[in-house]
Amino acid sequence: MSDSLSNKFEELIGLNYQLYNGLFLTLPLDAIEKTGLLLPLLDAACQQGLIDGKNPDAIIEEFFELHKPHFSAQDKNNFLFRVIQYVERQVVLVDALEDAAYKKMHQVDKLKILQSVVEKVEAEDLGEKFSEVLKKFGIRVTLTAHPTQFYPGTVLSIINDLTRAIARNDISEVRNLLQQLGNTPFSRKKKPSPYDEAILLSWYLG
């Protein structure tokens, strides 16, 4: 990634992620145990523990001893499961931020690559050569979907709305959508068929 693109990423995605993730972690999604507020502490404990050469079990146990000493084994499992749920939604937030920033990151409106190519062909009288190139040129669209990235339709709808709200810098709407995201199940009881995956991928082709 070039320095220019890296700076744009930090400005449009990195900084906004800090803002919206901070908003997300303070939402009352888990009022009793406050998982969102403990997540940064767990992250810091894990990073420092790995630097110190500790094994994962020891890191997690030390975290619970410090912050939740009253937790039973089941409480610990429940907490870690909720951590996974939060992280899933943080990934969605990054996806939405990247989608919202795509045009600015890649200057889609300014580049107009195809138009530039056509203008160059016309200006340099390369029509015949260009036609020969096009005869040999082909595109085959391949749709792929990874099971871990297969979101239910309700989640895709929220992602779509979240992307638009972020693009408008509508913080109030972003907060509402993050609240919805936090309360919307990601799991599916039935394995999706290739047809189901293709239908849901149409979200990104529309």
Q: What is the pLDDT of residues 84-113, one digit of tens each?
A: 989 989 988 998 999 888 888 776 655 567
Which SS3 state, helix, strand or coil, does residue 101 take? helix
**What is residue 141's predicted lDDT score, i.e. its pLDDT?**
76
Q: What is the mean pLDDT of residues 139-168?
A: 78
Is the pLDDT assigned to residue 196 strictly greater than 80?
A: no
**What is residue 146's predicted lDDT score, i.e. its pLDDT?**
56
pTM of the model: 0.72
**What is residue 148's predicted lDDT score, i.e. its pLDDT?**
47
E runs forming strands in the chain: none
List the chain domain ranges: 3-204
Cα separation, 57 vs 63, in Å, equals 10
Residue type present at position 82: R
Short-list 76, 51, 92, CA closest to 177? 92
Contact 73, 60 (CB under 8 A): no
Cα separation, 14 vs 36, in Å, equals 19
Is the pLDDT assigned to residue 199 strictly greater than 90?
A: no
